[in-house]
A and B are shown apart, each in its own frame.
Chain A
Amino acid sequence: MAVNDRPGGMTALSVLNGFFALGVGGTTIQRFVASYELMAKMDGSGRFGRRRGQYFQSLLDEGLTPLDLQILGVMGLIATIFLLVSIWGILKQSNLLGRWLGTIGGVALACFSVFSILWLPDSFLRGSGLSIARQMFFPVFLIFMLHVIFRRDFLNNRQNS
């Protein structure tokens, strides 16, 4: 008798959650660091090399504010935390921790990607918008899997436990 009856797809989904949580977590740190550097550039307290200084000036010229980066950072942080917690929830087939926290994590990740495309200048994104649209696929996929394919597994597990 196995310890659990979790479908293999759920395990795969939780691994992908971990992968994307780490990815968005790294980007979130970048956003916060950049926002403080941008603030330092604005009030002239920071010390930057010539090229980096020019780079931050160009971001400011394009209308990017530290607040934009901080809002994105908060979205990224929510996505990271919720995706990480939902790994455990999905593995345990918990309706609240797996399905719903995973959903919130997915929505936060989608918002993070969409607002990054909308707010950040191309030079900051360092890539095509399609690479961010590619990131959009995962949250949509995650929410679809949690609410369509594995919905009954979460609900039945709640009844059984």
Chain B
Amino acid sequence: MMHHPARHIGHHAMMMMTHSMRSGAGVAFIFLTIIIGLSLANLTVTPVELEMITVEELQDSSAKFIGVALATATLRASGGDDNSDSLTSRMETGDLVDLGMWARYLVVENPMLLSITVLLLGVVLPLLLPLGSFTVISGDVQHRTVRYLLPRTTRSSILLGRWLGSLILSWALILFLISSVVIYLSIMIPSESLEDLIPWGGRCFLALFFLTIPYVSLGILCSATFSAPMVALLAAIGATVGIPLLSLSLQEAWEPLGNLLYLLPWGYSHQLLSPSMENFFEASAYCLGHAALFLTLALLKFRRADL
């Protein structure tokens, strides 16, 4: 009998998605992702829709807020090689003008409400994605269900197939969220036209598409490392939340320790919505690199594990 790895990966991916739709954890993941995603969009849209604030006012305040956030993220990224007051020096070199352009790109040149929603999603999604992947390997290892599969397929096929299934499910949810917001904005908010929303919606989807890959891979790594699903979930969420907090607090003690942030995509993920396509491709490549690293570690762990 010939073993076809690609076909097996496809079968495992399909089975993983079916299982997710039928399991309690899977239903909770789908429901929470959509409800939280729509709630974030609602948070953004409500002030404009109820005319509590004008579009111009929101643009102005959002541009300032996003500008400060981008400045914080960008300046801390390059702060290590400059001992002088980095903010002042960057102002002198005119780099902050670029950040202003970037903020303007997000809130003036493109549909602002969609941009803000996607920026919020970019912060929240990393915390939600482990919910969709924490039982992927650990559940079957804990109950030894995986033993029925091992004589029929390779360990790599199981892991890669389930990783792919988790990714496709997550991408489908993100696509649903962005499509819902685009459709809603085009109907209910007169200032947002469908011609502007569709290409920008596509770009936003691409940004979240790439952001999803490393976080799902991290979830799979935790699932392959810990046989108890709850421990896997805690590890994945703990790492996602803990690493930025740790890096920020350690940075106070010794600045290079702030680079711990790059253990996860937190340090560069904002570049996925950069006006520069070069920066976007670079950030996408980093996302893929992170995913490859996590996936390789998961494969090594799973292939050597006693199951």
Contacts and interface: CB of A to CB of B under 8 A. Distances in A.
A9 B24 contact: yes
Contacts of B22: 7-9, 149-150
B41 interface: yes
Contact of A133 (B21, B28, B180): B180
Given A128-B46, A149-B22, A12 B27 contact: yes
Nearest to A127: B46
20 contacts: A7-B23, A8-B22, A8-B27, A9-B22, A9-B23, A12-B27, A16-B31, A128-B46, A128-B49, A128-B50, A129-B49, A129-B184, A129-B188, A130-B42, A131-B39, A133-B184, A137-B35, A137-B38, A145-B21, A149-B21
Contacts of B25: 8
Contacts of B250: none
Contacts of B27: 8-9, 12-13, 16, 145
Interface in B16-65: 21-28, 30-31, 34-35, 38-39, 41-42, 45-46, 49-50
Contacts of A127: 42, 46, 50
Interface residues of B, number: 24
B46 A9 contact: no
A137 B45 contact: no
A51 B22 CA distance: 50
A62 interface: no
Contacts of A128: 42, 45-46, 49-50
Contacts of A130: 38, 41-42, 45-46, 49, 181, 184, 188
A145 B20 CA distance: 12
Nearest to B177: A137
A50 interface: no
Contacts, number: 66
Chain B interface mostly: helix
Interface residues of A, number: 21
A9 B34 contact: no
Contacts of A52: none
A11 interface: yes
A149 to B, nearest CB: 5
Interface in A54-100: none
Contacts of A16: 27, 31
Contacts of B30: 141
A131 B42 contact: yes
Given A127-B50, A130-B188, 15 more contacts: A8-B23, A9-B27, A12-B27, A12-B31, A13-B27, A127-B46, A128-B50, A130-B49, A131-B42, A133-B184, A134-B38, A134-B39, A137-B34, A149-B21, A150-B22
B46 to A, nearest CB: 4
A9 B21 CA distance: 7
Contacts of A122: 49-50
B46 A12 contact: no
B30 to A, nearest CB: 8
B45 A141 contact: no
A12 B24 CA distance: 5
A12 B28 contact: yes
B42 A134 contact: yes
Interface in A7-60: 7-9, 11-13, 16
Contacts of B21: 9, 145, 149
A7 B35 CA distance: 22
Interface in A102-135: 122, 127-131, 133-134
A122 B28 CA distance: 31
Interface in B101-134: none
Contacts of B38: 130, 133-134, 137
